[in-house]
Amino acid sequence: MIRWPEKNDPKNTSVHVRNEIDTKAPPENIWAWLVRASLWPSWYPNSSNVSIEGGAKDLAMGTKFKWRTFRVNLDSEVKEFVPLERLAWTAKATGIDAYHAWLIERTPTGAHVVTEETQDGFVAKLNAKLRPNDIHAGHQAWLEALSEKATGGLP
């Protein structure tokens, strides 16, 4: 279960998207690829210009980073970081206040990965009306690419 900050809880936001996948990749590999944000653009085409404060390659608790996704430049900060299990960050831009969370659960054959995002703000609402399936499709592509990379080994 995702641990939502009150203001980002799906019951308090205008946009909520949930995606999940079962993969043969172990949680260790999923985690390694997910926190190596500097490599996202090399395998997830909906991300670009990832810049982690301080020049780090990996995300950590409290890490601030800038990036572009869904045609929007975002300022993000990691708010939850439980290795091999939970990762979440805020994502802010003019008219967008988002919270993106990941949950990784070990299974007998690999892992079950859930990603959920909530958004509020006028741009978020407008995007949801004009492109109602964009976020869900983009996150599904992210999960599938993550599964493929992690099944192949560590970064």
Per-residue pLDDT 10s for the chain (155 aa) are 999 999 999 999 999 999 999 999 999 999 999 999 999 999 999 999 999 999 999 999 999 999 999 989 999 999 999 999 999 999 999 999 999 999 999 999 999 999 999 999 999 999 889 988 999 999 999 999 999 999 999 99
3-state secondary structure 104-118: EEEECCEEEEEEEEE
Closest-CA residue to 89 (of 1, 5, 147): 5
pTM: 0.96
What's the rounded Cα separation, in Å, for the pair 147 and 100? 18
- Looking at the domain covering 13-151, what would its CATH class be? alpha beta
Evaluate whether 36 touches 155 at the Cβ level (below 8 Å).
Answer: yes
DSSP letter assigned to residue 145 = H
Residue 99's identity, in one-letter code, is Y
